[in-house]
Structure 1
């Protein structure tokens, strides 16, 4: 088989979307599965500057990541014109919370073209059971396949000297994700600032967009909130490994790649029930229901944990990822591709 992965953005600022595609690509390379990647915003990677028409024409199957934009409409059109199998990963864009944003615009787009595209592709790929269930509620006709993202376990030894240089002896609560209201980051900063526990610092690593810079200026006097800026791969490894807890208080996540990444470094997680990670509660993390109502108390619960409690959470992290290892997940993707090709 010869596959094409297409996405309208592979910029690092796009968050987990680009990482998920590149990670899947790396795993398929190990299994000698031929594939290419096409994007409209290509990070300056010359190997991706292909003509989409020719790429689709010369591939056996198209796996398109994302919906709504003209890029994805064009993908659908070219796949149908060339009679190529098409799998679509909506990447959480059909979840209730994002659908409630710009509601009228999305309703019109869904009615005019997006429903037709989703109804007429070969499979829709959901990354969590929660996402699959929400897609079913919309009455989409295409078959839905649930395959989560995969990970490899990491055993990075924490650099305690580096940790102390950042935290000055405090425990670290890490936020490492896009600085976007969807992620609950503004509410997190507000509640952390209100509690102002001197034994903990909130370390925020994110791309420095306008909202990031505004918050950094607003909370510059709180020395327990540290705006780290964006992280490269080496920085991410260090930050996950030295942090005592990771926090992602999202209003909506179809998967939450950063949560899985944190667990892979044995860093326990505080997150909301709007993510598909509720099974972590009291095992490798804590889960709360409502961002506005419950985040404050949940932060206090984390701050009240003893060192022994945190170590227990850390020791459970890898076990809670046993169903997400790439060895299994990559085979699930390959089976989906084979099943799709067998329809033709």
Structure 2
């Protein structure tokens, strides 16, 4: 059986790395039995120095995946090459482009040993994610000098493919979307309370996810609502700005910060809410959006994600960030929905998930890729 070695910045039980660990977990589950999957990752939580696991540098087995957690010093080429040589993979699958401490040794190994290399930047090259261009553009040009010619880049949205074609026109760039979590659509309906509508924000607390915009919208709502915020606070200065907005909210808006949610509990948390409010600046996929929809929690999102067709099937709202009033109108409409209207929205949501989220074609394309 062919071996696929996945290199990424972080993996479970870490909670703060966002969508990439979910993408990889879903991929390995979908292709279980067809390939032997190995993951080499950092032994730390995002933005923390303390080790994630005390017992590192050994293979852990979870979800039929072999996972090894390495300290920073183990990513230097000599030690890294020794670990990769023990596995002898047919494919190296890299889950970042800018995490240079793990990217550079992976590229150098692939080039020296002529191993197939696939790079999935996971949205890092989207315009909304390219902050500090004065650092990143020179890095991109440097990487072009050391990249093997047969490197393949994977984009998971049309926007990401456009970015890859712009930065790497001489390399092969393929569109292959992420696979959703293998969750059964629930048959039960959430009972919407007419007196207080419950909204949720679940994501990393950083500027890109645009929580501040969500709070600014809610200041214009006159009805009673509950807005609960979940996710790791990565940008303390940004959270301070959000906290100042929260403190100035009118009495009809109840806002709570509820901490970090483990991947296993995401569906259970979404089940408790009427709507997911997520005006993100950009998502190349947006696992959290899919998890909300699969959990029967309709979404109110920006139109900077791959899920704008929810407007066509009337299963949610995908709106331009330049039109704040449209968000206010959508929230007011959500609040005023009676149970019958809400049930219809849920039915449309289920139809959308079945038709546009789950498909066997992508699984087959991943099999062919490896």
TM range (shorter): 0.7 to 0.9
- Residue 207 of structure 1 corresponds to 232
Cα RMSD after superposing both structures: 2.7
Match of 1:77 among 96, 108, 112: 108
Tell me which moved more, 128-137 or 212-221: 212-221
In structure 2, distance between residues paired with 1:16 and 1:294: 27
- Pair 1:261 & 2:291 matched: yes
How far off its partner does 1:221 sit?
6.4
- Residue 340 of structure 1 corresponds to none
- Residue 136 of structure 2 corresponds to 106
Residue correspondences, number:
327
- Residue 29 of structure 2 corresponds to 26
8 Å CA contact 2:154, 2:176 repeated in 1 = yes
8 Å CA contact 1:249, 1:271 repeated in 2 = yes
Deviating above 4 A after TM superposition, structure 1's stretches of 4 or more consecutive aligned residues are: 156-160, 220-223
- Pair 1:179 & 2:237 matched: no
How far off its partner does 1:304 sit?
1.8
State the TM-score, normalized to the length of structure 1. Answer: 0.85
Structure 1 unaligned regions, length at least 5: 338-344
8 Å CA contact 2:301, 2:319 repeated in 1 = yes
In structure 2, distance between residues paired with 1:252 and 1:294: 16
Greater fraction of residues in helix: 1
- Residue 167 of structure 2 corresponds to 138
- Residue 275 of structure 2 corresponds to 245
- Residue 272 of structure 1 corresponds to 302
How far off its partner does 1:69 sit?
2.6
- Residue 52 of structure 1 corresponds to 80
- Residue 342 of structure 1 corresponds to none
8 Å CA contact 1:94, 1:135 repeated in 2 = yes
Cα deviation 1:302-341 (Å, max 9, x = unaligned): 322413333222112232233432644332211111xxxx
Q: Label 1:300 to 1:202 Cα distance change in 2 as closer, same or farther (>3 A).
A: farther
- Residue 228 of structure 1 corresponds to 258
SS at match of 1:317: helix
Matches within 5 A, 1:324-335: 324-325=357-358, 327-335=360-368
- Residue 190 of structure 1 corresponds to 216
Cα deviation 1:258-284 (Å, max 9, x = unaligned): 111111112211111211211111422
Structure 2 unaligned regions, length at least 5: 45-51, 60-67, 71-78
SS at match of 2:43: coil
State the TM-score, normalized to the length of structure 2. Answer: 0.79
- Pair 1:297 & 2:326 matched: yes
